[in-house]
Structure formats: structure tokens, C-alpha cells
């Protein structure tokens, strides 16, 4: 981390007030300088060979490959506790991790708006380098485009990822069974509230920071201890409510939420009450909803609480035979209400 921070400071001082121009996306000398002097110092080269349009990489002897891709268009590009750089790494890592795979390699596609300050780009690249180091993945290939002013909002990033899934690991919605418990690894809604505050449109003051984080080590901890995981999904756009509805409809089961067990920071709850938002639908970027057999759920919960990414884990719901394909919440006051799939978008461009 110290090396990345030192590099970032050196580059920011070197480029001063310079900004990205269309020449930096022309494929000529300026673009080569951008790649050699700004991008590669953070991500390195996959080999000592000259750069090509692909990376040739070793893989373990056995297992299956997992691959995913995602694009990140969040606004603003920096927000409390995180940035589009962290999101681009952790989001793709988590899409692989929730299959049970060990993420290995990522690509990085940058679409940069003309006029972006070099200092801002360097900050984001440093965030990506730190996130990749923490998640133990390598950025091995990429692409850089520069577009006219107004064609994108400062910076869009696409990352694709490859991971390896061991033979025998096979979780998925079809494995969900009546009686299973559903666990989440901490407070929900932090990312959505952090983005709201960063936009400054609502004069909202809050100390909440994004929960953006890689989930690989938390999931691998459970797998290494032999916890059978029937299904798992990272909880992002649409929030916990959307993931639980996907479970209910995909498996043809009912899900009963215990409202009193859902971890929510008081500050997030307060923002939701003021703005009329439901925290169950708020976005997260470091949360996973795990479906665990009842006889292993308590052990899984205790293991999760030993991990930095799961210290506030909770058992929030149960898979039931009633109200098939629907999610129902048992309130603190004894009543019940249907929790439907999110319709529309509570807050666009959050990831």
C-alpha cells in the first residue's frame, strides 16, 4: 500500500494541472505515454514481453473457469469511503467470488472524458491498484479510450474477471431448500446513503461511508471450514429485498424475513425515514446473502463474525413452504407485509 501511495504522489506532482485530451486516446505517442507513465506503473505488465492485445496466463491444473464482466458508471466518481476505482475491482471480484471461485485475473477498460485532470485519473488508478492488491487479483490487460467533452461523465470503467472454481463446488438457486437459513454479513444500505450524501443534492450530512469491499476471503473462509452453501449472491442494486425475491422465485419457495434481525445503522435508518426510502432496497457493495442449511447456519454465522467483512453478520430470514415465490417480512410489532421486487430505480448510477 505504501508503494502505491508514494507512486500516486509522485505522479500527481509530475503531471500538475495537466488534463486528458483527445490525443491521449488517439493510439499515438500521447496515448503510449499515458499507458507507460500513468497506467502501467500501477498495474504492471503480465510478463516481460511487449504489450499485446491479450494476456497469456497460467491456470491451476484442475477446476473450472469462471468469467464475468461489468461496467461502472457511478457519479460522482469519488464518494465517502470509496471510488469508482474500488467499485470496478471489488464489483467484478465479488461477481466471481459468489460462485465459490477464487478470482485471479482482471481486465481494465477505461473510457475517459476529455478534460479529466490527470490528478483525478491517478487517484482512481491508485484506488484500483490498492483494491486489486487487497483482493489478491492481477490486472493483466486493458484498453483506453478518450471521448469528447460531454460524451461521458468524467470516467467509465469496464472490468472483466477470470477465476477458478474447484471441482465439486456447486451452489445455486436450485439448491435452496425449505428450512434453510439466510445470512447477511453486516449492515445494509451504507453504499446507497454514501452516494446520496456525495451528490449533495439533498443537503444531506452524514458520516456513513460506502461498504465497498471484496468478499472473496470471507466466502473462502466458510468453504475452507466445510460450510455447505446452497446459494449466495452479492447484494448490490435493488438491495436485499431484490436478492431475496430472486431466491424465492428462482427456487419456488417462500422466504420469511425477521425485521428485528436485519442489521441497519441508526443513521441509515434515519436517512431512509426522512427521505421515504426503504433500506431493504438500498444498494450495497460489500454484502452477500448466503443460503445455508439450518444445521450449519449457526456455525456459519459465528465464522462470519470472526472475519473483518462479517463482524456484524446476522441471520435475517428463513426459507419456508408458505407463500411460495413471495417474500414476507415479520415486523417487530407482530404484523406481516409482502416485500416485493424493486420496481424502477430508487437511485440511478450507484455503481
Query: What CATH number is associated with residue 144?
Result: 3.30.1330.10
Q: Is residue 347 part of a domain?
A: no
Same-domain check for residues 161 and 186: no
CATH for 267: 3.90.650.10
Q: How far is CA 332 from CA 59, 86, 200, 207, 340, in A?
A: 50, 36, 33, 27, 19
Return the closest-CA partner of residue 99 out of 135, 65, 57, 138.
65
Span 12-31, pLDDT tens digits: 999 999 999 999 998 889 99
Alpha carbons 285 and 90: distance in angstroms, whole number: 8
DSSP characters over 95-151? HHHTTT-EEEEEEEEEEEETT-BHHHHHHHHHHHHHHHHHHT-EEEEEEEEEE-TTS
pLDDT of residue 55: 86
Same-domain check for residues 255 and 335: yes
Q: Is residue 350 part of a domain?
A: no
Q: Is residue 346 part of a domain?
A: no
Same-domain check for residues 133 and 273: no
Alpha carbons 186 and 263: distance in angstroms, whole number: 6
Query: Looking at residues 50-63, what average pLDDT do you find?
Result: 81
Q: Model's pTM, two decimal places?
A: 0.94
Same-domain check for residues 16 and 127: yes
Same-domain check for residues 179 and 210: yes
Query: Looking at residues 45-73, what average pLDDT do you find?
Result: 85
Q: Is residue 131 part of a domain?
A: yes
Same-domain check for residues 187 and 300: yes
Q: Is residue 253 part of a domain?
A: yes
CB-based burial label for 126 (10 Å; 0-12, 13-18, 19+): buried
Axis-axis angle for helices 118-135, 2-15 (nearest 10): 170
pLDDT of residue 58: 83
pLDDT of residue 134: 97
Q: Is residue 349 part of a domain?
A: no
Alpha carbons 194 and 49: distance in angstroms, whole number: 42
pLDDT of residue 53: 81
Domain end marker among 132, 165, 198: 165
pLDDT > 90? residue 265 = yes
- Is 245:233 a contact under the CB 8 Å cutoff? no
Return the closest-CA partner of residue 164 out of 102, 214, 116, 224.
102
For strands 181-184 and 288-292, give the pairing: antiparallel
Axis-axis angle for helices 190-199, 266-275 (nearest 10): 60
Mean pLDDT, rounded, of the chain:
94
Domain end marker among 165, 188, 204: 165
Span 71-96, pLDDT tens digits: 999 999 999 999 999 999 999 999 99
Same-domain check for residues 133 and 196: no
Q: Is residue 318 part of a domain?
A: yes
Span 123-167, pLDDT tens digits: 999 999 999 999 999 999 999 999 999 999 999 999 999 999 988
Q: Is residue 218 part of a domain?
A: yes
Question: Between these two residues, 213 and 60, which has the higher pLDDT value?
Answer: 213
**Band of residue 346 on the pLDDT scale cut at 50, 70, 90:** confident
pLDDT of residue 204: 73
Alpha carbons 85 and 107: distance in angstroms, whole number: 13
Domain end marker among 135, 165, 195: 165
DSSP code of 77?
S
| Residue 317, SS3 per DSSP | strand
Tally of domains within the chain: 2
Print the domain residue range for 324: 173-339
Same-domain check for residues 140 and 2: yes
Same-domain check for residues 19 and 70: yes
Query: Looking at residues 235-250, what average pLDDT do you find?
Result: 95
Same-domain check for residues 158 and 178: no
Same-domain check for residues 34 and 153: yes
Which residue intervals of the chain are DSSP H helices? 2-15, 29-34, 40-43, 84-97, 118-135, 190-199, 216-224, 239-251, 266-275, 294-305
What angle (nearest 5°) sits at the alpha carbon of residue 178, between those of residues 170 and 214?
Answer: 45
Span 175-215, pLDDT tens digits: 999 999 999 999 999 999 999 999 887 777 789 999 999 99
Amino acid at each position: 500500500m505504501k508503494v502505491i501511495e508514494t507512486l500516486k504522489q509522485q505522479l500527481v506532482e509530475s503531471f500538475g494541472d495537466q488534463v486528458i485530451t483527445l490525443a491521449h486516446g488517439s493510439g499515438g505517442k500521447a496515448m503510449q505515454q499515458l499507458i507507460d507513465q500513468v497506467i502501467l506503473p500501477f498495474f504492471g505488465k503480465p510478463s516481460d514481453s511487449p504489450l499485446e492485445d491479450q494476456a497469456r496466463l497460467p491456470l491451476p491444473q484442475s477446476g473450472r473457469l469462471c468469467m464475468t464482466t461489468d461496467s461502472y458508471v457511478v457519479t460522482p466518481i469519488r464518494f465517502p469511503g470509496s471510488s469508482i476505482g474500488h467499485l470496478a475491482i471489488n464489483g467484478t471480484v465479488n461477481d466471481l467470488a459468489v460462485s465459490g471461485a477464487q478470482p485471479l485475473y482482471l481486465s481494465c477498460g477505461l473510457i475517459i472524458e476529455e478534460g479529466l485532470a490527470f490528478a483525478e485519473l491517478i487517484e482512481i488508478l491508485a484506488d484500483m491498484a490498492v483494491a486489486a492488491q487487497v483482493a489478491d487479483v492481477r490486472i493483466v490487460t486493458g484498453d483506453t479510450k478518450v471521448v469528447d467533452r460531454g460524451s461521458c461523465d468524467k470516467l467509465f470503467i469496464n472490468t472483466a474477471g477470470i477465476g477458478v472454481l474447484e471441482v465439486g463446488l456447486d451452489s445455486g438457486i436450485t439448491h435452496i431448500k425449505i428450512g434453510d437459513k439466510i445470512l447477511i454479513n453486516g449492515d445494509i444500505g451504507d453504499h446507497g446513503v454514501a452516494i446520496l450524501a456525495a451528490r449533495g443534492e439533498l443537503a444531506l450530512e452524514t458520516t456513513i461511508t460506502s461498504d465497498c469491499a471484496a468478499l472473496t476471503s470471507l466466502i473462502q473462509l466458510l468453504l475452507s471450514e466445510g460450510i455447505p452453501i446452497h446459494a449466495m449472491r452479492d447484494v448490490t442494486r435493488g438491495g436485499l429485498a431484490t436478492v431475496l425475491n430472486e431466491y424465492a422465485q428462482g427456487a419456488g419457495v417462500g422466504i420469511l424475513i425477521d425485521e428485528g434481525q436485519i442489521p441497519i445503522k441508526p443513521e441509515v435508518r434515519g436517512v431512509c425515514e426522512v427521505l421515504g426510502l426503504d433500506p431493504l432496497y438500498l444498494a450495497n457493495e460489500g454484502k452477500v446473502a448466503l443460503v445455508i442449511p439450518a444445521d450449519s447456519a449457526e456455525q456459519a454465522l459465528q465464522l462470519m463474525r470472526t472475519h473483518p467483512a462479517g463482524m456484524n453478520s446476522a441471520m435475517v430470514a428463513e426459507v419456508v413452504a408458505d407463500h411460495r415465490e413471495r417474500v414476507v417480512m415479520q415486523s417487530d410489532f407482530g404484523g406481516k407485509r409482502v416485500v416485493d421486487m424493486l420496481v424502477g430505480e430508487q437511485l440511478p448510477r450507484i455503481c
